[in-house]
A and B are shown apart, each in its own frame.
Chain A
């Protein structure tokens, strides 16, 4: 074989010499690789976004819905079912989830707006270890949030004894006409609420509401009594309407009931933290009934909730929009006090629901500690022991042992089918008689897979046509360069040399064509992303970039391109090598 350096030199010289041939041959390859790489990157990104919404390596086991005379008669998912599932050989882990089974409502302040929302039906509990593990795994990824607060705080604090913080306390007085989830209130030294008159409604009327909200509402829970409308009890209403969850009211306003009627307009609202007698007010609150400091209930949200808030709710309700990651942004800016809210257990914002609970409504405080893939899609997720306890307290032992679903993770993804068949086996036949929840993620993943396959087939078809084109062009080249090939043989080229020169030229077309194709794909992607950023309205899960040019994608693009070109040049190169030099050199 000729020296490799000479081979490369000869290939380069020949290619530069026959530019037209080169361009004609490379054209198809460029187009093929362009689409190949572009759609691979697009569908790759779609898959990544999808997996961030739906975890695809696990399934949820639920009981088939059965109703008897309007009553739910579905099979109960309890610890025995969890044990049976865990014992299956293909199952790596089975983690139960439990819904909050009675009404509850939340109230919190967000950026100066008093928000009330239903929690019952939109809350569940899960093993906190399960959430923390996911947070730790995610934190290791590049560019991911550190999830420090989830790892540190997503625990069942009731089971953790902390005498230093769990001290006795006197909760601030509350307005008896306010609902149970009213704001935490002010210092007990204030005048008794019974003496006050003119309390605003739960949701303040426009006059009082706007006045008080502007005066007192702020995310960190500070406020002043100066903006209390015309009411003589300005401090009270300010606290009401301002920041329910995080609290407002100020020491200055507390004793100024008479003066509040004519607030001095020049006095700026003095920011002060709301009254919290606990040693660590950032994490602990004073429980109204136990009169003891307790840790706030840690809450994780799903990215779906955050996206829905950002792209739908914030707009429709005139609320500030958080740029990238709402929760992380707020936690970073203001610490834990930013994302706390009250939960009224046994209390509902939905009128007309009749649920009898064993207990009087009670107020607890919660705090959002982060965004987790393990949170329920729409709602709030907390450590399961909280839900279990509350269900027991409000509904009884039966509710404390019934799970809403069981998340099953497999040792191997491919065993889902085996498991699925077993889980649906009716009880009459000795099976568990359960079912897998509709796997929306799986349907989307299948759709993306089909689309990806379709585009791959199209680009492979383009590439095959390109290969045929290259083969054809090289055949013509071999005929046109008969004499040249003969001369090379006469002065010492072996058959292998001739073959390698032709294949080298084909490979060069592949490499250069592939590079151009990849370059065009990246250019088009940058253009599309620019258009998307500047001209498309925001929507949930709108990505910064629609494409994911992972290394393997463009490397495989280049490899495909080169391999296909070499394939196209294979037969012509063989023909060139097998050509009789004497005939090639014969005159005319």
Chain B
């Protein structure tokens, strides 16, 4: 990635589009502090994540940033509730952990699934558990890497609707990496990338011209 410079305001819903290997996932990981650029500046929620300590970055992910992945990344040996409450293990002074975990599951419509294991769930349900985990710490920024990539169109739509609602009602900032037009269509802002460069930062229609990623 070279010469990438973007600003995302609080409460925005941004879609990142582009071909495979264009660097959109890397950009997302750098924003989340899971990856490090060789040089540059990154400021997330008022924190300079490159200069901050590992501890500070980890705390930011724990308290303010949620991740949603294409492959769900649930732990098969834990129940849904167990997966949702993993962040609590790394938080100091976490209280009412199970209650908050159930509340997160209820929000994604899986209130009755607390004691089920991921292997018993469908793909859509798994992704909803993953979203519940991302929401556990009540984050202000949600970073989603191809969240609908492994879902059929029906469940994919449900997830996108949920994101839109989250953005509208709770004011959560969302950055979604996707190559599905349907997803980018709900975004208020679309950033297109190619070969590690931002080729266009424009509205929905322009993004459509970038073609399928």
Mark A residues whose CB is within 8 Å of B: 1-3, 6, 9-10, 17, 483-484, 486-497, 580-582, 585, 587
Contact = CB atoms under 8 A, between A and B. Distances in A.
Nearest to B66: A491
Nearest to A481: B75
B26 to A, nearest CB: 7
Contact of A9 (B32, B73, B89): B89
Interface in B18-44: 26, 29, 32, 34-35
Given A3-B92, A483-B73, A486-B73, A581 B34 contact: yes
A490 B89 contact: no
B142 to A, nearest CB: 12
A238 B174 CA distance: 117
Contacts of B61: 489-492
A488 B54 contact: no
Given A484-B75, A489-B34, A494 B69 contact: no
Q: Dominant SS at the B interface?
A: helix
Contacts of B197: none
27 contacts: A1-B55, A2-B89, A3-B92, A6-B88, A6-B90, A10-B89, A483-B73, A486-B34, A486-B73, A489-B34, A490-B34, A490-B61, A491-B67, A491-B90, A491-B137, A492-B61, A493-B58, A494-B54, A494-B55, A494-B58, A496-B54, A496-B55, A497-B58, A497-B90, A585-B34, A587-B70, A587-B71
Interface in B88-111: 88-92
B79 interface: no
A487 B34 contact: no
Contacts of A497: 58, 90
Contacts of A581: 34-35
Nearest to B136: A491
B75 to A, nearest CB: 6
Nearest to B32: A490
Contacts of B62: 491-492
B75 A492 contact: no
B87 interface: yes
Nearest to A489: B34
Contacts of B89: 2, 6, 9-10, 493
Interface centre among A495, A496, A581 (most CB of B within 10 A): A581
B67 A492 contact: no
B90 A493 contact: yes
Contacts of A585: 34, 69, 73
A555 B2 CA distance: 59
A487 B75 contact: yes
A246 B29 CA distance: 100
B69 A491 contact: no
B90 A487 contact: no
